[in-house]
Copies of this chain bind each other. A is one copy, B any other.
Amino acid sequence: MAKIKIQLNETKKDSILKNAAMLFRSKGFKATSVRELADTLGVEAPSLYNHIGSKAELLQEICFDIAADYSTFMQTIISSPENADKKTKKLIEFHIQKLFIDFDKVYVADYEWKQLPKKQLGEFLIQRKIYENNFVEIIEEGIKKKLFKKLQPRITVLTILSAVRGLEFLKSKKNNFTVEVLQQNMVNHLLNGITN
């Protein structure tokens, strides 16, 4: 009788979520079967249901965990006394670092959220919108203080968020840039592009 494979300092639930995120990222949520997930954990599919409620619940936990992390960081940024340019810099750096630490989960939250059950999809989009609005306010603040050029704040935010979201392409390639190099390059590009 096989047991769910776990690593040191990891609960079974952690292991399930980690493997689910890996599969959901590489194949997509819909294209990943519960049997497949069970395989990677070295166990039969129905055994998983001693630990999870449903397949959809896994996607849900991944997406909302990541959303919560972003929300938490945004709160610390908002309540910090720094200027808009420094805030923006820190946000860009955070996104890049977060992608490296929680690659699979961040990817899933970025690209597979559409597969969330209808009700949670709505809640997820609301949280995204709040995050985006917070970011827009920071940009607007920067424009008001003449730190930033007069561009449409919403387009600026979308441009920045999209750019950092696209980093997944660099992870799996030979071009193995370090987090620091990526942060430096992208801050330079994306921040200087809107700075007066």
Contact = CB atoms under 8 A, between A and B. Distances in A.
Counting contact residues on chain A (CB < 8 A from B), the size range is 35 or more
Interface of A is mostly: helix
A34 interface: no
A159 B163 contact: yes
A190 interface: yes
A185 B152 contact: yes
Copies in the complex: 2
Contact of A192 (B28, B186, B193): B193
A182 B155 contact: yes
Interface string A157-195: 011111111110110000101000110011011111110
B165 A166 contact: yes
Interface of A: 27-28, 30-31, 111, 114-115, 149, 151-152, 154-156, 158-167, 169-170, 175, 177, 181-182, 185-186, 188-194
